[in-house]
Amino acid sequence: MPQQDNDIGGQISRFAIIGVLNTCFGLAVILFFYRVLGSSLIVSNAAGYGMGLVLSFALNGFWTFDASTYKLTMVIKYLLLVGAAFIINMLVIMSLMSLGLPYWIAQIVGVITYSSIVFLGMKYAVFTK
Range of the domain at 114: 69-129
Over pLDDT 90: what percentage of the chain? Answer: 91
- pTM of the full structure: 0.89
The pLDDT of residue 5 is 61
- 11-20 b/e with 16+ CB inside 10 Å = b? beebbeebbe
The pLDDT of residue 2 is 44
64 and 76, same domain (yes or no)? no
- 129 has pLDDT over 90: no
10 and 64, same domain (yes or no)? yes
Q: What is the mean pLDDT of residues 74-83?
A: 98
1 and 53, same domain (yes or no)? yes
Q: How many CB atoms lie within 10 A of CB 29?
A: 19
Crossing angle of the two packed helices 72-98 and 103-121, in degrees rounded to 10? 160
CA distance 24 to 18: 10
1 and 64, same domain (yes or no)? yes
87 and 60, same domain (yes or no)? no
- 106 has pLDDT over 80: yes
124 and 99, same domain (yes or no)? yes
The pLDDT of residue 4 is 56
Chain segment 3-52, per-residue pLDDT in tens: 556 799 999 999 999 999 999 999 999 999 999 999 999 999 999 999 99
Q: What is the DSSP letter of 35?
A: I
